[in-house]
Amino acid sequence: MDAAKAEIPSRSHAVTALYEAHALGLVRLAVVMTGDQGSAEDIVQDAFLGLYRRWDRLTDLPHPLAYLRASVLNGCRTALRRRSRADRRLQRLSEVPSESAEARALLSEEQQAVARAIRDLPYRQREALVLRYYLDMSEADAAEAMRVSRGAVKSATSRALAAIGRRLKEGQS
Amino acid sequence: MKQTEDLVRSTTRALAGTVRAVRPLPPLPEAPSRNEVTPGRRTRPAWVAPLAAAAAIIIVAGGGVTARSLLAKSGTPRPSASGAPTRGVSAGSYTGVPPYYVAVANSSLTVVRATWTGATLARITTRTPVVGVAGAADGRTFVLDEQRSIMGGKVTWVGQPTFYLLRLTASGTEESLTRLAVPAIPNGTVVSGLALSPDGSKLAVDVDSDSWPQARLMEIMTYTLATGAFRSWTTSGVTNADAPFGFTGSGVDGAQSISWTADSRTLAFGVENTSYIGMRLLDTAAGGTDLMADSRLAVVERNFRDPGRSLRNAAPPYYFVSCITDAMISMDGSAIVCGYSTSVGNTTTMGFAQYSTGTGKMNHVVGLVHFEGQAPIGISLYWVNSTGKIAIGTSETTGRGRVGVMNGDTFTPLPGVTGFEAIAW
């Protein structure tokens, strides 16, 4: 058995172990970002397959979860971009609700309104908001995850909160 | 705002809690090639995560600080040709659109590019990241704002920002890069807006406290570059009931929040408080140090106390958003241009509208993009011409977006304007 083949089991085992440890949390993150569990699971699986594919080049990866999270967020962005194109066709036929039936059942009316407001945010604002308030990241950590400056995170977050506040206020009036 | 934060926390966690299990990972291949994998059978079409997943996540509309071009050549200001070009005219012939722009490409690289071709004309590397850029009206004078250090993926606040004056040659290459001797900004504040006066003589800096959105301090300072002399206007978000929420927008990290008129005297800035969202005009040559008392409210986008006076209600069922975060005053001071969106039925229109600083009413639509559905919207404005009728900006829906020149319903994309953190014409 040559060295390359010898690596395969450990690589496979390591990625599978990471999947078992982190897939649920990452799918939840992707659901918050995309509002759709099917898409979220696809995105997360792609992230793990990407990790598996690049394992050779990532042997010194100190924080695989951070890498996977960035990969998932990038996948969410791609998915939303594709969905936006598709929505333009689909919405001619019918309005497709973004929240699942389960989400609609489990979320209060106010939370559903907030979820809709989050869904309507530009992607970067949504991402900043999710990193800051769902994952409870500091501004610096969110900036690192988004690969933008801390000020950009602050700006995007404040805009997002203001937009949601306005949406909720309008809903009350 | 605290309540909104709590609602976001509880909502996102409730949404996440609806996921209780995930499907297993498909079988991994037994013997993939070293750099290539053949994934197991997939139950859905694959969205392949890009190799650079851990790299930059930068949206085209990331934004930055802008200035307007009124001059055809460096030095003496002169009015641009009046009026917008006729439809069908080549975008390259739009009068007054500056020939070059400066974009912050990443934490250590700032580039100068040709507006109409996207060709890179100069590359400026810096040890400390440039996070903001603003331009004068000659199209060849810019100020770079170095603020933070990114070392090994960590973003670190390094104290006072450093401003550099960048001058370009007539062909757009770097002529000089000179550190500006401007006084320090107050401790504990961050630069949230930046605007270089049209004649390049003054730099306006908008700062707020690091505790935003509590916003204990908001301040606009103007520096005279030749002498380092400065003035400041402040307001307290806590004690001043007129501005409890402080400013919105971010000239450095987002879109323009402060902008000058051609005389390099009047400064426009956005305000959001419990009463209204709007734009105010500050006469920097007049006396005073109180940002609110010494400025004039020019345009009210939203009037919370009297909804009938809000712009959104001027033509129901239109719905206006984000006016002040992407607003600029025209060089002649007659108008404010800001991004907006409207939803009527299942059709959304977004773009930029021009509002009179005299009457506060909308009098011109600068750019329009129509699409079906009510998709998320991002709007950024980077430059407007002297009369506020032509603009450079972007309108996007969830990641789709192009930067281009807008003139009425004509949108002319600019090539190669992607992947920047801040940009200025």
- From chain A residues 108-137, the ones with a CB under 8 A of any chain B CB are 110-111, 114-115, 118-127, 129-130, 133-134
Counted across chains A and B, CB pairs separated by less than 8 A come out at: 274
Output the average pLDDT for chain A. Answer: 74
Domain endpoint, select from A96, A116, A137: A96
State the residue range of the domain holding A15: 1-96
Q: Pull the structure tokens for residue B207.
A: 């700062």
Are residues B369 and B395 in contact, defined by beta-carbon separation less than 8 angstroms? yes
Q: Round to whole Å and give the CA distance between B67 and B65.
A: 7
Give the least confident one: A68-82, B302-316, B347-361: B302-316
Across A138-163, average pLDDT: 83
pTM, 2 dp = 0.56
Cross-chain Cβ contact A103/B15 below 8 Å: yes
Predicted pLDDT of residue B209: 58
Whether chain A has a CB inside 8 Å of the CB on B350: the answer is no
Are residues B59 and B419 in contact, defined by beta-carbon separation less than 8 angstroms? no
Question: Phi first, then psi: what are they for A146, rounded to 5°?
Answer: -90, -10
Across A85-107, average pLDDT: 46
Across B290-316, average pLDDT: 67
Same domain, A84 and A105: no
Domain with residue A119: its CATH number is 1.10.10.10
| CB-CB neighbors (< 8 A) of B249 in chain A | 155, 159
Whether chain A has a CB inside 8 Å of the CB on B316: the answer is no
Domain endpoint, select from A80, A96, A112: A96
| CB-CB neighbors (< 8 A) of A74 in chain B | 49-50, 52-53, 57
Same domain, A5 and A50: yes
Domain endpoint, select from A79, A96, A113: A96
Across B44-71, average pLDDT: 25
Name the CA dihedral angle for B81, B87, B92, B96, rounded to a multiple of 10 degrees.
Answer: 20
Q: Indicate the number of domains in chain A.
A: 2
**Number of other CB atoms surrounding residue B268 within 10 Å:** 26
Residue B12 domain-assigned?
no
Are residues B5 and A161 in contact, defined by beta-carbon separation less than 8 angstroms? yes
**Among candidates B22, B248, B375 on the partner chain, residue whose Cβ is nearest the Cβ of A159:** B248
Q: What is the DSSP string of B272-285?
A: E-SSEEEEEEEETT
Domain with residue B257: its CATH number is 2.120.10.30
Predicted pLDDT of residue B102: 92
Q: How many angstroms separate the CA of residue A86 from the nearest CA in chain B?
A: 11
Same domain, A83 and A138: no
Same domain, A2 and A84: yes
Cβ contacts of A101 within 8 Å, gap of 6 or more = none
Cross-chain Cβ contact B35/A106 below 8 Å: no
Predicted pLDDT of residue B398: 41
Q: Which range, A34-48, B18-32, B60-74, B315-329, has the best average confidence (pLDDT)?
A: A34-48
State the residue range of the domain holding B330: 60-77+93-424
Which residue has better confidence, B74 or B281? B281
Same domain, A6 and A84: yes
Mutate to test the interface with B, among A31, A48, A92, A123 (most CBs of B within 10 A): A123
Residue B1 domain-assigned?
no
Same domain, A2 and A23: yes
Strands (DSSP E) found in B255-384: 258-260, 266-272, 276-283, 295-303, 327-329, 335-344, 347-356, 362-372, 378-384
Max Cα–Cα distance, chain A, nearest Å: 72
Are residues B328 and B357 in contact, defined by beta-carbon separation less than 8 angstroms? no
pLDDT band, residue B304 (cuts 50/70/90): low
Closest CA to B138 of B98, B184, B178, B102: B98
Give the least confident one: A72-76, A102-106, B10-14, B190-194: A102-106
Same domain, A84 and A118: no
Cross-chain Cβ contact A147/B55 below 8 Å: yes
pLDDT band, residue A75 (cuts 50/70/90): confident
Paired sense of beta strands B327-329 and B335-344, if any: antiparallel
Handedness of CA B311, B370, A146, B15 (dihedral sign): positive
Q: Indicate the number of domains in chain B.
A: 1
Closest CA to B202 of B337, B392, B67: B67
Cβ contacts of B234 within 8 Å, gap of 6 or more = B217, B218, B219, B289, B290, B291
- By the 10 Å C-beta count (0-12 exposed, 13-18 middle, 19+ buried), B13 is classed as middle
Distance between terminal CA atoms of chain A? 72
Give the least confident one: B188-197, B370-379, B382-391: B370-379
Predicted pLDDT of residue B258: 84
Residue B51 domain-assigned?
no
| Residue B140 scores a pLDDT above 90 | yes
Whether chain B has a CB inside 8 Å of the CB on A58: the answer is no
Q: Which range, A151-165, B45-59, B404-418, has the best average confidence (pLDDT)?
A: A151-165
Predicted pLDDT of residue B1: 58
- From chain B residues 92-131, the ones with a CB under 8 A of any chain A CB are 129, 131
Cβ contacts of B29 within 8 Å, gap of 6 or more = B37, B38, B39, B40
Give the least confident one: B131-145, B266-280, B369-383: B369-383
How far is residue B406 CA from its own chain's centroid?
16
Across B102-109, average pLDDT: 82
- From chain B residues 362-421, the ones with a CB under 8 A of any chain A CB are 371-378, 396-400, 421
Output the average pLDDT for chain B. Answer: 67
Strands (DSSP E) found in chain A: none
pLDDT band, residue B282 (cuts 50/70/90): very high
| Residue B375 scores a pLDDT above 60 | no
Predicted pLDDT of residue A131: 93
Predicted pLDDT of residue A83: 60
Same domain, A8 and A20: yes
| Residue B394 scores a pLDDT above 90 | no
Cβ contacts of B10 within 8 Å, gap of 6 or more = A111
Predicted pLDDT of residue B223: 94
Same domain, A15 and A92: yes
- Angle at A120 (CA atoms; ends A109, B410), nearest 5 degrees: 150
Q: Which tens digits make up the pLDDT trace of B153-186?
A: 444 554 678 899 999 999 999 999 999 988 887 7
pLDDT band, residue B306 (cuts 50/70/90): low
Cross-chain Cβ contact B26/A151 below 8 Å: no
H/E stretch holding B155: strand B154-168
Predicted pLDDT of residue A47: 85
Residue B44 domain-assigned?
no
Give the least confident one: A6-15, A111-120, B35-44, B188-197: B35-44
Are residues B373 and B320 in contact, defined by beta-carbon separation less than 8 angstroms? no
Same domain, A3 and A85: yes
pLDDT band, residue B146 (cuts 50/70/90): confident
Whether chain B has a CB inside 8 Å of the CB on A53: the answer is yes
Are residues B107 and B120 in contact, defined by beta-carbon separation less than 8 angstroms? no
Q: What is the DSSP string of B95-126?
A: TT--SEEEEEEETTEEEEEETTT--EEEEEE-
Same domain, A142 and A111: yes
Whether chain A has a CB inside 8 Å of the CB on B18: the answer is yes
| Residue B419 scores a pLDDT above 80 | no
Whether chain A has a CB inside 8 Å of the CB on B154: the answer is yes
Q: Round to whole Å and give the CA distance between B362 and B314.
A: 9
Same domain, A17 and A67: yes
Q: Pull the structure tokens for residue B189.
A: 């504040």
Q: Using DSSP, state whether B36 is helix, strand or coil.
A: strand
Q: Which tens digits make up the pLDDT trace of A37-68?
A: 888 888 898 888 878 777 766 655 667 787 78
Predicted pLDDT of residue B124: 92
Q: Which range, A13-27, B154-168, B269-283, B378-392, has the best average confidence (pLDDT)?
A: A13-27
Q: Round to whole Å and give the CA distance between A119 and A98.
A: 9
**Number of other CB atoms surrounding residue B202 within 10 Å:** 23
H/E stretch holding B392: strand B391-397
Q: Round to whole Å and give the CA distance between B385 and B227.
A: 29
Across B300-309, average pLDDT: 62
Are residues B287 and B233 in contact, defined by beta-carbon separation less than 8 angstroms? no
B176: left (phi over 0), alpha (psi -120 to 50) or beta: beta
CA atoms within 13 A on the CB side of B61: 24
Predicted pLDDT of residue B17: 84
- By the 10 Å C-beta count (0-12 exposed, 13-18 middle, 19+ buried), A3 is classed as exposed
Give the least confident one: A157-171, B345-359, B387-401: B387-401
